[in-house]
């Protein structure tokens, strides 16, 4: 036994520690380099955000318009004509929705303002009475703090929609740019991947083409799924508001539909707004009924619709979704919160594909039949 131990060289403890330290230092340098590269990319994107944002929004709109454009193309329509029909139809739907809700807002806004004032006074009387017995000075300071917070949030939201676009003219130009990019994306999109494959070569182009195809499928699935789920939420909640006689029911339904595209946070904000309007306009009982309807619809969405519809498209944990929305909203406002989940899904798709390639490279090949045969002695 001692002879066997003498034949093996035992590594020195210092050598083992040095190897571990070198390994840790190497990975630390790699992490710092990746972080520096990410910071540079973020800095460039921030400087070019006015140009980058229309491209991102155009890609999102393209995922919505691509299925009807493809259907029209398959039925013999020229790609340019199919793209034009899809885009004009999209603009027509948007114009119809705006024309539908604006008169309702204009007609019911004065009544809602009066009821809001009465509701605020009623809430103040409740707070000043037992059991809270809050003094008038405390209420005034609290109201001032809330007003200042809302004003700062409004300014931030307005600046976050188009960061760097300060005038109405620039906003219109940016909107026209989004629509123009969308037209060319849905018209010439199928030519992009073959061109990219030929430009980058077979090996790099093959991997990039596969990743982009998966990303496109994930984005399209996310937008269409969220649209369906948001539509169901808006229909059920809007119907409940109409039955209960809550003012601005149609507007609140549209806000619920739009808020559905920001998972978790959007549904919460839209629901809170509906309950608040019901409280100040119809009283506490109606507000509690609206809250019950919203909770029931959200339970149906969270436990039935989203698991079934999004299981193949997103595959993101709720914690990742919430963190992505928080980070996107803090950096770029409402637009950042809207784009956060698609961005997280794109990153997840890329990471999964890289993991598949690593597994394929590190998995040993299956043993051949000759290797499985016992050797004759």
- Residues 71-124 have pLDDT tens digits of 988 888 888 888 889 899 888 888 887 777 777 667 766 666 666 666 666 666
For position 162, what pLDDT does the model report? 47
pLDDT score of 40 more than 90: yes
For position 160, what pLDDT does the model report? 47
Q: pLDDT band for position 24 (50/70/90)?
A: very high
pLDDT score of 32 more than 90: yes
| Per-residue pLDDT reduced to its tens digit, 295-338 | 888 777 666 666 555 555 566 676 777 788 788 877 777 777 77
For position 269, what pLDDT does the model report? 75
Q: Greater confidence, 5 or 51?
A: 51
Mean pLDDT (the chain, rounded): 76
Percent of the chain scoring above 70 in pLDDT: 70
pLDDT score of 262 more than 50: yes
Mean pLDDT of 59-64: 85
Question: What is the distance in angstroms between the CA of the first residue and the CA of the last residue of the chain?
Answer: 30
pLDDT score of 45 more than 50: yes
Lowest mean pLDDT among 280-284, 317-321, 341-345: 317-321
pLDDT score of 31 more than 90: yes
Mean pLDDT of 158-165: 46
Mean pLDDT of 127-145: 66
pLDDT score of 270 more than 50: yes
Q: pLDDT band for position 173 (50/70/90)?
A: confident
d(CA 370, CA 125): 89
- Cα 145 to chain center, whole Å? 30
pLDDT score of 145 more than 60: yes
Percent of the chain scoring above 90 in pLDDT: 5
Lowest mean pLDDT among 27-41, 225-239, 262-276: 262-276
Most confident segment among 14-23, 132-141, 254-263, 309-318: 14-23
Q: Where exactly are the structural domains of the chain?
A: 48-357
| Per-residue pLDDT reduced to its tens digit, 65-83 | 888 888 988 888 888 888 8
Mean pLDDT of 36-41: 91
For position 37, what pLDDT does the model report? 92
Mean pLDDT of 261-289: 77
Q: pLDDT band for position 374 (50/70/90)?
A: low
For position 35, what pLDDT does the model report? 92
Instruction: State the pTM of this model.
Output: 0.65
């Amino acid at each position: 036994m001692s002879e066997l131990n003498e034949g093996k060289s035992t590594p020195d403890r210092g050598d083992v520690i040095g190897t571990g330290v070198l390994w840790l230092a190497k990975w630390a340098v790699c992490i710092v380099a990746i972080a520096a590269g990410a910071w540079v990319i973020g800095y460039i994107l921030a400087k070019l955000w006015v140009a980058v944002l229309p491209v991102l929004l155009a890609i999102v709109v393209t995922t919505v318009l691509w299925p009807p454009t493809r259907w029209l193309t398959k039925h013999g329509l020229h790609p340019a004509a199919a793209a034009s029909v899809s885009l004009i139809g999209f603009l027509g739907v948007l114009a119809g929705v705006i024309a539908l809700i604006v008169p309702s807002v204009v007609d019911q806004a004065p009544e809602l303002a009066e009821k809001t004032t009465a509701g605020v006074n009623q809430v103040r009387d409740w707070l000043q009475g037992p059991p809270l017995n809050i003094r008038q000075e405390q209420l005034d300071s609290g109201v001032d703090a809330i007003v200042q917070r809302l004003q700062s949030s409004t300014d931030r939201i307005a600046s976050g929609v188009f960061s760097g676009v300060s005038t109405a003219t620039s906003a219109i130009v940016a909107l026209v740019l989004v629509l123009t990019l969308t037209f060319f994306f849905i018209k010439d999109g199928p030519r992009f991947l073959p061109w990219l494959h030929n430009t980058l070569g077979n090996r790099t182009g093959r991997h990039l083409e596969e990743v982009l195809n998966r990303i496109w499928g994930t984005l399209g699935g996310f937008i269409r799924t969220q649209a369906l789920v948001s539509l169901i939420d808006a229909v059920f909640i809007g119907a409940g508001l109409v039955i209960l006689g809550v003012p601005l029911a149609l507007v609140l339904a549209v806000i619920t539909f739009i808020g559905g595209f920001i998972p978790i946070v959007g549904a919460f904000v839209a629901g809170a707004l509906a309950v608040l309007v019901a409280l100040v306009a119809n009283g506490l009982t109606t507000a509690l009924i609206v809250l019950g309807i919203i909770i029931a619809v959200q339970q149906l969405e969270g436990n039935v619709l989203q698991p079934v519809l999004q299981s193949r498209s997103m595959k993101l944990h709720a914690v990742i979704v919430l963190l992505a929305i928080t980070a996107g909203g803090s950096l770029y406002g409402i637009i950042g919160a809207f784009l956060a989940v698609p961005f997280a899904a794109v990153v997840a798709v890329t990471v999964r594909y890289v993991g598949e390639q690593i597994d394929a490279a590190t998995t040993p090949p299956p043993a051949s039949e000759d290797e499985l045969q016992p050797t004759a002695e």
